[in-house]
């Protein structure tokens, strides 16, 4: 699962119809149902006869806490309705139908409006305007790549269906390629993001994250304690808000948020070289990375070893390029909108305001570095020309969403 873990209750009040069609990926649906319930959703499972060959309705009933439906002729009461119309009643009041796994055969049925089992029937009978259809494909790589499947996917998209995945990797058949169903935690993340507001739809956001590493010799270097968690959380929040996101990341061990284009770099110069050509193409630049101010002027091509003299080696340092200031200097008509981060050890407001003025950017986000590096929570202060506003302590994803919402509001006048 991508970092950070979403806060509990992300799907409170949501009602999800979880459909299972036939495929070995049905085993993942058990964990998905559990994750959805844990996130606060109510989950109504509907299975095809083929799905029941891979996992039992009893398992899904135990995990969802609700009776599982499979037959078009099931006469059980559904949410107070006893009219033998499960295909109608199961989706009324639902926030989405998520079919996971969705086989190639099931997608073909949806395309043609087939309605000869309960799951395909309720997909056809759902209220399109209020109950979106989300498809999580799962099939062999050749089946996914087949022209017929790709035509079906294109038409289903045109008809309004949304696709989560597929992923690429090892498949149950032993082959490797595209077609795997997303992992349950990835599907949960995608569904949470699906329901988030989209104030940055149509916008492009460029983000830097993590530390830089400035080598002294082949095995040692100058770096800092930044984990990159805040920048990666901002990248996820920006995708959730509808943006197209590029993330330039220093050396960190974090999974890339889904939907984010990631560029890995090591040094400040490499980060500068990656950012500068991209910045003019983006609407927003958020410089979260803790970039080293200095680097050794000369790199030893061999490990610097002790020589018994007990005299420490001396290093001449040279200044690294200032990425945020360089991007701000080349802004055209306020684009990209530049957001800087100030990780301070003391006098947070004073140093944040000084950085705002020195870098000539519209917004600085201040935080106390020693209190947040490596942690999953933080406290931020937003500093602009008019004053400052605090974002109280919270997990970094919650703070990232608040920051993205603030940036989106600041962009609105420029869009008018």
Active site amino acids? 173
Q: From CA 299, how far away is CA 287, in angstroms rounded?
A: 27
Cβ 19 vs Cβ 91: under 8 Å: no
SS3 403: helix
Query: φ, ψ for residue 400 (rounded to 5)?
Result: -60, -40
Q: From CA 358, how far away is CA 336, in angstroms rounded?
A: 18
Q: Which two tokens stand for residue 223?
A: 């770096």
Query: φ, ψ for residue 19 (rounded to 5)?
Result: -100, 140
182 DSSP 8-state letter: P
Question: Over the range 9-38, which residues count as b (16 or more CB within 10 Å of their CB) and which as e?
Answer: ebbeebbbbbbbbbbebbebbbebbbbbbe
Q: From CA 123, how far away is CA 137, in angstroms rounded?
A: 15
CB-count exposure of residue 383 (10 Å: 0-12, 13-18, 19+): buried
Cβ 9 vs Cβ 191: under 8 Å: no
Cβ 367 vs Cβ 341: under 8 Å: yes
């Amino acid at each position: 699962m991508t970092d950070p873990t979403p806060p509990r209750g992300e799907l409170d009040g949501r009602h999800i119809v979880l459909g299972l069609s036939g495929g070995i990926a049905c085993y993942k649906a058990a964990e998905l149902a559990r994750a959805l319930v844990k996130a606060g959703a109510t989950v109504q499972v509907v299975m095809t006869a083929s799905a029941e060959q891979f996992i039992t309705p009893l398992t899904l009933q135990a995990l969802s806490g609700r009776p599982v439906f499979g037959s078009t002729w099931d006469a059980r009461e559904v949410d107070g309705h006893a009219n033998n119309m499960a295909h109608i009643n199961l989706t009324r009041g639902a926030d989405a139908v998520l079919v996971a796994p969705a086989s190639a055969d099931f997608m073909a049925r949806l395309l043609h409006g087939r309605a000869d089992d309960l799951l395909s029937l309720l997909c056809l009978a759902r209220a399109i305007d209020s109950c979106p259809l989300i498809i999580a494909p799962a099939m062999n790589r050749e089946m996914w790549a087949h022209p017929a499947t790709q035509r079906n996917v294109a038409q289903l998209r045109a008809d309004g269906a949304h696709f989560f995945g597929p992923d690429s990797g090892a498949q149950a058949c032993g082959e490797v390629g595209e077609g795997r169903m997303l992992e349950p935690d990835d599907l949960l993340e995608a569904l949470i993001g699906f329901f988030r507001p989209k104030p940055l739809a149509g916008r492009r956001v460029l983000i830097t994250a993590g530390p830089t590493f400035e080598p002294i010799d082949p095995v040692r270097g100058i770096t800092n304690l930044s984990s990159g968690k805040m920048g990666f959380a901002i990248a996820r929040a920006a995708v959730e808000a509808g943006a197209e996101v590029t993330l330039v990341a220093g050396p960190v061990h974090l999974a890339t948020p889904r939907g984010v284009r990631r560029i890995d770099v090591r040094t400040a110069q490499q980060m500068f070289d990656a950012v500068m050509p991209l910045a003019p193409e983006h609407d927003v630049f958020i410089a979260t990375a803790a970039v080293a101010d200095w680097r050794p002027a000369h790199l030893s091509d061999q490990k610097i070893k002790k020589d018994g003299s007990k005299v420490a080696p001396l290093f001449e340092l040279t200044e690294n390029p200032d990425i945020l200031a360089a991007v701000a200097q080349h802004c055209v008509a306020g684009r990209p909108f530049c957001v800087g981060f100030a990780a301070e050890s003391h006098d947070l407001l004073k140093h944040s305001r000084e950085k705002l003025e020195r870098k000539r950017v519209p917004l600085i986000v201040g935080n106390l570095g020693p209190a947040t590096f490596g942690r999953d929570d933080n406290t931020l202060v937003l500093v602009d020309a008019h004053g400052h506003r605090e974002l109280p302590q919270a997990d970094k994803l919650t703070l990232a969403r608040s920051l993205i919402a603030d940036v989106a509001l600041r962009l609105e006048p420029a869009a008018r």
